[in-house]
Amino acid sequence: MINKRIDLLENYKILYNFFGPQGWWPADSPLEVVIGAVLTQNTSWQNVEKAIFNLKQNNLINLIALIEIDQVELARLIKPSGYYNLKAKRLKNLLLEIHKNFHSIEEMKKLSLNEARNLLLGIKGIGYETADSILLYALEYPTFVIDTYTLRWLERLNIKFFGNKKNRYHQSQTLFMKNLPNDIKLFKEYHALIVKLGKEFCKKRPKCSECPFFIKAL
């Protein structure tokens, strides 16, 4: 990683003052967060909401019901989220593993952060971002979620990471974890604000002149 001094708390305040609280993750239960974390892979949240609506209409926001439903039928219901056959398989793999070890999602909190993270990462189809999203938003472990928006923003701040995808993820996560208070609420809000920034301004083709950091510098 190229070291460049960055005040992450000051940047958080700029984002918060510009966008306001995001209230992320929007869900009625930890299980719904878990479902959303899998379905949001490679798609927009708008599409995930449609898929979750279908599940709710069929009374399927239930661990046992999702395990017992036929995978083909599950894929049909989550079709709006894209890659629905693959996601149905991944979701079933994840929920089966949780059910095998615990009576509910919440019971995973008996584990340490590292134990819970290793369990999730050991399940086929669950990568670092999905695992950390579940840990932070569903189970409220203090871990920072890194995504494409975060890496793009850091790079534009001239903070660059090297190595493979795994190394870049861990380097960037360490940057946040070492330079912020160990605060779950802060981690949630900060991640959500970076996503908001990435969607509105810090895009592949950025709108720098409208960005809150450009405005702050004027």
According to the model, what pLDDT value does residue 165 have?
86
Topology of domain 30-138, CATH: Endonuclease III; domain 1 (1.10.340)
According to the model, what pLDDT value does residue 161 have?
85
According to the model, what pLDDT value does residue 4 have?
59
Topology of domain 8-23+144-217, CATH: Endonuclease Iii, domain 2 (1.10.1670)
8-23+144-217 matches 30-138 in fold: no
Do 120 and 145 meet the contact criterion of CB atoms below 8 Å apart? no
Q: What is the DSSP letter of 78?
A: T
List of residues 6+ apart from 66 with CB closer than 8 A: 35, 55, 60, 74, 91, 92, 95
Q: Which residue reads 């008996």 in tokens? A: 110
Using CA atoms in the order 16, 168, 45, 137, what is the torsion angle rounded to 10 degrees? -70
d(CA 26, CA 215): 29
pTM of the prediction? 0.94
According to the model, what pLDDT value does residue 214 have?
78
* Residue 130, token pair as written in the block: 């999905």
- Write the CA distances from 159 to 16, 94, 162, 194, integer angstroms: 21, 34, 10, 15
According to the model, what pLDDT value does residue 213 have?
87
Instruction: Give the containing element (helix H, strand E) for 148.
Output: helix 148-156
Q: Which residue reads 């395990």 in tokens? A: 67
- Write the CA distances from 69 to 62, 63, 88, integer angstroms: 11, 10, 10
SS3 48: helix
Residue boundaries of the structural domains of the chain? 8-23+144-217, 30-138
According to the model, what pLDDT value does residue 60 have?
98
By residue count, the chain amounts to 218
Helix axes 184-200, 8-19, angle to 10 degrees: 60
- Pick out the chain residues at pLDDT < 70: 1-4, 216-218
